[in-house]
Amino acid sequence: MRLERMALRTGARPEQVLSLLDARARRLGLPAPAALIGDWFGSRAVIAPTVELRPVTEVAEAFATPARQRAVNSPADGAIGGGWFGYLGYDLTDPSGRSGALPPAAWGWADHVLRLDTTGQWWLETLGPELDALAAEFDALLDVLSSDDAPDVLTEHGWTATRLRRPDGSEHTKAVAACMDAIADGELFQANICARFHGEFDGSACELFTAGVRRLRPRRAAYLAGSWGAVVSLSPELFLARTGRRVRSTPIKGTLPRRGDADAANAERLRRSTKDVAENVMITDLVRNDLGRVSAVGSVTVPELLSVTEAPGVWHLESTVASELAPDMTDADLLHATFPPGSVTGAPKLRALDLIAELEPEARGVYCGAAGLVSPAAGMELNVAIRTLEVADGAVALGVGGGITALSDPAAEWQECLHKAAPLEALLRHFAAEPT
């Protein structure tokens, strides 16, 4: 399989390109586009103009599908060409067997993509299709974005403003307290306990995503859609990145509000928090253990520990674990060893999974799973599907939660859920048409 690429003329923003491709897909009756926007593969955006994302229900098949790759010629620096776009929902490995409104997983192969590099140059990249014909098609299509017709092409229909129904906060605090009892009894060190918000949704999931990207500037945003619904992931967190045989994971554990200048001091407060530091170190050790199962002996390292980073509405504490995949291990093996992400489960992971199933009243759905792209040329990058809206059958769902340790305060944990949900609740509630 040969990777080819050609520079495109447009200087449009990723949200504009995605909106145009979504309109094109609807007009021509094609499957929807898929998009990764933010910090992906050393680029600013990777968009598949059209890709059919097919539901996958079995765990083994969900992990094996993106590992099915053909060799490609040595690509140019930064080139991606195409690959498997999709997601793995938390439901795949929920011991209770519960499921949300969306399929437990979905993958689709794209043999060409539009990629925006860090210099602002757009590229058309292919893994097989005729490059010249496609380049002429997309240059002509994207020229509309700089023409007088652009406002008509990008007219937004938006969505009907909606308020999410929150669960009873007292029920969440009871679950947190029960988790703390399990920790006190020595059953585990930490578990992530979550709540689920629900609402009605009438409108365009793609426009919800593009508005979220513009307003929140998430580092790991992913848009995936099909006849089954849509995943609007505005995540700040990297689950896995594999380049060649090198692997890294950047778990986030530890959160404080970042609502304005008054919360600036929370960055230092977070770094000095005994509870949050302990939470992060425990999960970092869990990720080290997960990666160690499939990595070359002695290759697992922690190049970054306890860094304070910004995310919409909050400060986060994150660390990075890196390793080299053992020679006989595949992407499917890597996913088996590490999924679901450690930062949204707990330690030990298996007991945390069981406790989550006991204490949380409903399935997590896609939330706390992973979304992204696996490319034969560029490797694998998957986010942790947090700050993620799931749209299906006229409804929208949002999961939020946090890590519970022996030092947790149940009331504070519920407030953390509200802080994390606030930017997405505002996005749904206050939509107003604005230029794409």
Q: Would you please indicate which residues are annotated as catalytic (active-site) residues?
A: 237, 253
Q: Please state, in angstroms and as integers, the Cα–Cα distance from residue 323 to each residue in 132, 288, 384, following that order.
A: 39, 9, 19
The greatest distance separating any two alpha carbons of the chain, rounded to the nearest whole angstrom, comes to: 67
Residue 213: both structure tokens together: 């990207």
Residue 239: both structure tokens together: 């689950």
CA gap 286, 241 in Å, rounded = 17
Rounded to 5 degrees, φ, ψ at 342 are: -65, -35
CA gap 14, 8 in Å, rounded = 13
Rounded to 5 degrees, φ, ψ at 133 are: -65, -40
Nearest by Cα to 373 from 168, 37, 86:
86
CA gap 252, 306 in Å, rounded = 9
Residue 371: both structure tokens together: 């979304």
Mark out the alpha helices in 293-433 (DSSP H runs). 331-338, 349-359, 410-429
- The H or E element that residue 279 is part of is helix 274-292
CA gap 229, 82 in Å, rounded = 23
Rounded to 5 degrees, φ, ψ at 240 are: -140, 140
